[in-house]
Chain A
Amino acid sequence: MKKFAVETSLSYPKKGAMGKTGSWRVFKPILDKKKCVKCLRCWIFCPEGSIHREKDDSVSIDYDFCKGCGICANECNVKAIIMEREEVKKK
């Protein structure tokens, strides 16, 4: 990455600037690829950009950064995404 020499405080772009925000999640979206009709509504409405769009317009969910808001499940017209409670991780 190009660094700039200026006399002011500068921030540089980084994916995951606040860490892995997937840990905020309470409910987890589960995508059923058989039901998906590739309308891309989940992709355009995801606030986080956590729904990846492949070359053939199929989608996949990035659980590292998905905050679990549930907009994708609410906007899916064919109910291909459902929200499930996140399992509590044992230490």
Chain B
Amino acid sequence: MALKDYPVDECLLQGNASCPGCPATIGLRLVLKALGKKTIMVIPACCTAVIESLYPHTSFDIPVMNIAFEAAAAGASGVEAALRQQGRTDITVAAWAGDGGTYDIGIQALSGALERRTNFIYICYNNQIYSNTGIQRSGATPYAAWTTTTVSGKNEFRKEMGEIILAHHIPYAAQTCISYPEDVISKITKAKNIQGPKYIEILAPCPPGWRFSMDKTVEMGRLAVDSGAWSLWECENDVMTFNGKSKLILEKKIQRKPVEEWIKYQGRFSHLFRPQRDEVRLKAIEDYTDNLWERYRKCYTTK
């Protein structure tokens, strides 16, 4: 499907409370274009709870349930059970949570819902920090990144949530990025038409949190994929496929760009370049990414 075929209707209304250049609203617009109006969204505490704007108004033109931070997947399970009791099968239930509510706080509810085979889509928009509460470190924050709680740079590498999800052997799991609208919409549409639990993670480069200029949001996402710091893949019934540039990197058809190309535009990594280059940590980042892709090749290359 080309850009011209996407619906014109907007389910996220203008004049909401998001920051200028917000990746979450780009993601929400794409997701709601794919899911359509017959969707119930469950949203825990995250930036999107702010984007909904102030009571008694909301910027969402679909039913939304707000719920506690750790309970996005549990709330969605409840909504799905209620719909099943009423015999409504035409409504999609989607949970939309940030990386804090998925990687750290919401992981047990998510794991439980996946294990119970709840028929819903869990969408995580990953901006690699707790940006709503003021840029704290999360499990998704990459190595050496500045946050307000890791002032000289994070000491640990981020965890691979996608592979934790794959261990549940659900019918559909995917990883994508807001910079590739065709990829996002095709994956969401595919997930909508599959029965059972679905998990989709969307990389969302956050201008205030990553400290870059707000007009570069989409470019940052593209550079993350080009440099191999983020990968696009989907896994349908335990068959793993990489998409787009990530497929070419996996098959060694193109060389990935150095991760430095991606991090040099971000103020959260500026302590690696000023006052002098921190060669040790820059090398650690490149080595980690090389090892990551080697492992991907070993695990997921089909013969």
- Which A residues are closer than 8 A to B by beta carbons? 9-21, 24-25, 39-41, 43-50, 53, 57, 62, 64-65, 67-71, 73-75, 83
Contact = CB atoms under 8 A, between A and B. Distances in A.
B57 A11 contact: yes
Contacts of B30: 44
A69 B218 CA distance: 12
A17 B15 contact: yes
B218 A75 contact: yes
A47 B25 CA distance: 5
Given A48-B25, A67-B20, A13 B58 contact: yes
B56 A12 contact: yes
Nearest to B33: A44
Contacts of A9: 55-56
B111 interface: no
Contacts, number: 117
12 contacts: A11-B58, A13-B59, A14-B59, A17-B17, A18-B15, A18-B17, A43-B3, A44-B6, A44-B29, A64-B14, A69-B214, A69-B215
A69 B14 contact: no
B216 interface: yes
A67 B26 CA distance: 14
Size class of the contact patch on chain B: 35 or more
Contacts of B110: none
Interface in B31-52: 52
B115 interface: no
B140 interface: no
A44 B3 contact: yes
3 A-B pairs with least C-beta separation: A70-B215, A16-B15, A17-B53
A73 B61 contact: no
B246 interface: no
Interface string B1-21: 001101010101111111111
A18 B58 contact: no
B82 to A, nearest CB: 14
A89 B30 CA distance: 35
Contact of A69 (B13, B55, B217, B219): B217
B54 interface: yes
Contacts of B54: 17-18
A36 B258 CA distance: 34
A14 B14 contact: no
B60 interface: yes
Contact of A11 (B6, B52, B214, B215): B52
